[in-house]
């Protein structure tokens, strides 16, 4: 009788273990599917409107597409957004600012600059706005979309050269999971260079 009870207990324990393993397998499979199919937003820097190019100037057209510089464009200048994922993203909040290069803390993650109490004074100086309008961004890995809610006039962009354009986008994917991505770009004469580790490390 005692031997039968031990066997029964062993069978129950084994069944329990199989259920647990199955549950974790399902959770893992679900997470892998979401990671494979979700949206991944990345923010580009400020982008202008292409200047008119003569129809017969093929070299200028090639440079505009492959080696574009600021002088090839006019304002207004808008933030650009790219969705490298496979499904749409829905923005829920966009926070952004402009900061002199010498005042930008490259050793502090942008998300911490935007959230930590010890940076309240810094934010009061350099944050420019928070956009809560929801927009849909379909997959567009080849063509950045110009975000009309963040726009700087042509006459103002000159005074921000050498400054850092920074911020964070909070968005949801089609699975209703929330994510964020941060950005920080050093605006130089002809281009914008990423600064810090926002693009590689400060996102979810």
DSSP of 113-155: HHH-GGGHHHHHHHEEEEE----EE---SSSPEEEEEEEE-HH
110 touches 168 (CB < 8 A): yes
56 touches 89 (CB < 8 A): no
Average pLDDT for residues 102-107, to the nearest whole number? 95
Does residue 2 register a pLDDT over 60?
Answer: no
Range list of H helices, the chain = 2-37, 58-66, 110-115, 120-126, 154-157, 198-201
55 band by pLDDT with thresholds 50, 70 and 90: confident
Distance of CA 21 to the CA centre of its chain: 35
Average pLDDT for residues 144-156, to the nearest whole number? 93
CA gap 123, 166 in Å, rounded: 11
- DSSP structure class, residue 14: H
Write down the pLDDT at residue 24: 59
**Residue, of 112 and 20, whose pLDDT is higher:** 112
**pTM of the entire structure?**
0.82
58 touches 100 (CB < 8 A): no
**Residue, of 126 and 60, whose pLDDT is higher:** 126
79's CB contacts (< 8 A; 6+ apart) are: 43, 44, 45, 46, 47, 94, 96, 146, 147, 150, 165
What is the average pLDDT value for the chain, to the nearest integer? 89
Average pLDDT for residues 78-88, to the nearest whole number? 96
């Amino acid at each position: 009788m005692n031997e039968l009870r031990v066997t029964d207990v062993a069978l129950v324990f084994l069944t329990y273990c199989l259920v647990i393993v199955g549950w974790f397998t399902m959770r893992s499979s679900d997470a892998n599917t979401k990671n494979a199919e979700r949206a991944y937003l990345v923010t580009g820097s400020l982008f202008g409107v292409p200047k008119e190019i003569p129809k017969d100037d093929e070299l200028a057209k090639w440079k505009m597409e492959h080696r574009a510089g600021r002088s090839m464009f006019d304002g207004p200048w808008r933030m650009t957004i790219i969705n490298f994922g496979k499904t749409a993203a829905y923005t829920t909040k966009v926070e952004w600012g402009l900061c002199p290069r010498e005042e930008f803390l490259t050793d502090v993650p942008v998300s911490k600059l935007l959230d930590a109490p010890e940076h309240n004074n810094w934010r009061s100086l350099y944050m420019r706005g928070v956009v809560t309008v929801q927009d849909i961004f379909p997959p567009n890995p080849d063509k950045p979309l110009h975000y009309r809610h963040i726009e700087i006039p042509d006459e103002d962009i000159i005074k921000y050269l050498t400054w850092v354009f920074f911020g964070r986008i909070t968005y949801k994917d089609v699975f209703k999971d929330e994510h964020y991505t941060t950005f920080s770009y050093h605006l130089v004469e002809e281009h914008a260079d990423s600064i810090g580790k926002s693009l590689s490390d400060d996102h979810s």
